[in-house]
Amino acid sequence: MAKRRRLNKIRVYVENPSTSTEMAETQYTDMDASHTVQQIMSREETTIENEMDPLMQDDQDSEENSVTRRGPTILADIWNQSPEEKWVVKFNRYGQPIGEESTLLSSFIGTIGRNPELAPQGHPDWRLVPKEYKDKCMDEIRARFTFPRIGEPFILKTIGERVKDFRGELKAEYYEPNKHNRTY
């Protein structure tokens, strides 16, 4: 697992799961969520570096010179977190996320944009996607993050951008422009 910096994470105690979204909407309209719930800071992971012999270092140096490429962001720890834990994201008065938690939210939005069950790729424009898909996307984000209502338009717009970016990646990888051209 990747090491995370200390970010604001809260624990929400939900008695009835059917009202959890209603509770989240009513409790977290304030920018300061510390008055309504208990804050939990993520633990810092400690790493222990092992000493290596000189022969092992030579092998590792040759591996470091090879080109490595990063894969897609998965964020398995966010997708698998318990329902009572939520990340607190603050927004400024213009509806833009601020703080270190905003990068985590943006990365999570990117994973939603690549998920065909939540954000289908068959529509030419995000504005043409049916509302139930957009609601599913927002429900997934609300299940893991706490934010004020002023941030919802920004989040929906960003999901649309990520869907468009992913559609472009798919086209670049799989589209063959001369495959369907016929010469008569």
Residue-level pLDDT at 104: 96
Residue-level pLDDT at 183: 65
Helix (H), strand (E) at residue 22:
helix 20-27
Residue-level pLDDT at 68: 84
Does residue 84 fall inside a structural domain?
Answer: yes
Does residue 3 fall inside a structural domain?
Answer: no
Residue-level pLDDT at 184: 61
Does residue 180 fall inside a structural domain?
Answer: no
The tally of domains found in the chain comes to 1
Does residue 124 fall inside a structural domain?
Answer: yes
Q: Provide DSSP, 35-70.
A: GTSEEEEPPPP---PPP--HHHHHHHHHHHHS----
Does residue 136 fall inside a structural domain?
Answer: yes
* Tens-level pLDDT at each residue, the chain (184 residues): 556 667 788 887 766 555 444 444 333 333 344 333 333 333 333 333 333 444 445 555 555 667 888 888 999 999 999 999 999 999 999 999 999 999 999 999 999 999 999 999 999 999 999 999 999 999 999 999 999 999 999 999 999 999 999 999 999 999 888 877 666 6
Which of 144, 156, 146 lies closest to 25 in space, CA to CA? 146
Domain of 155 in residue numbering reads as: 8-42+77-174
Does residue 146 fall inside a structural domain?
Answer: yes
Does residue 51 fall inside a structural domain?
Answer: no
**b/e code 35-66 from CB counts within 10 Å (16+ = b):** eebeeeeeeeeeeeeeeeeeeeeeeeeeeeee
Does residue 53 fall inside a structural domain?
Answer: no
